[in-house]
Structure 1
């Protein structure tokens, strides 16, 4: 429970910092397309940061349930999806863009696991 709340707090901080860096530090240094990719990474990181926060809160209130599986899937999704897009944006190396769908699948798995746990335990 506390682990997912801390992961959410850290990821929230990082998403805001990287969003500001993208808006101010990367402007004029990378293409407009790369900036849009960077922004997509920030948005998905923040969306799933909030999902991590919800997982942590649910774990503190609900006995039982496999909310942790959803939390790990969201965290792995952030690393793979947003992380690969950040690196791809600044490097242009297409190999990193190939990793992105794995993060997307991890996000989907997280939502399915969270939905299952909510239906079963709430």
Structure 2
């Protein structure tokens, strides 16, 4: 089940990154400041990077132990908290009604992504680098 969640999340995040990137480049260009566009683009980039990471994890890791499950959880949660809080901040700010509660959520998402990467390192060290063999 975790493998399916990982692969589906990676695919959905990838699709949404493309859609949101195009939306930002075209529709939002007229209403966003340069800073808002740059922030929105950062959210899209991080979302796509981690969509690819989830696909790599889902296709190459056995995902049979708790640490691997937490690794996936932290990456998925990190994308949602980091990228989507940036989208919310940019869109609400461009409309003059900035949702300030999203501000502290962005760094929590970044921390969650970092924890996911640290857990991947732990998995690599635990497996002795023989994944997929």
TM-score in terms of structure 2 length? 0.84
Structure ranking higher in helix proportion: 1
CA RMSD of aligned residues (A): 1.5
List 4+ stretches of structure 1 deviating above 3 A. Answer: 62-65
Q: Tell me the equivalent position of 1:96.
A: 102
Aligned to 1:81: 82
Q: Distance in 2 between matches of 1:6 and 1:100?
A: 23
- Select the residue among 1, 4, 17 that pairs with 1:2: 4
Which ranges in structure 1 are unaligned for 5 or more consecutive residues?
none
Q: 2:113 aligns to what? A: 107
Q: 2:28 is matched with which residue: 20, 26, 29?
A: 26
Pair 1:47-2:49 in alignment: yes
Equivalenced residues, count: 121
Q: Secondary structure at the match of 2:31?
A: coil
Using structure 1 for the length normalisation, give the TM-score.
0.91
Displacement, 1:59?
Answer: 2.9
Instruction: Report the alpha carbon displacement of residue 58 of structure 1 after superposing the two structures with TM.
Output: 2.4
Alpha-carbon distance in structure 2 between the residues aligned to 1:18 and 1:45: 10
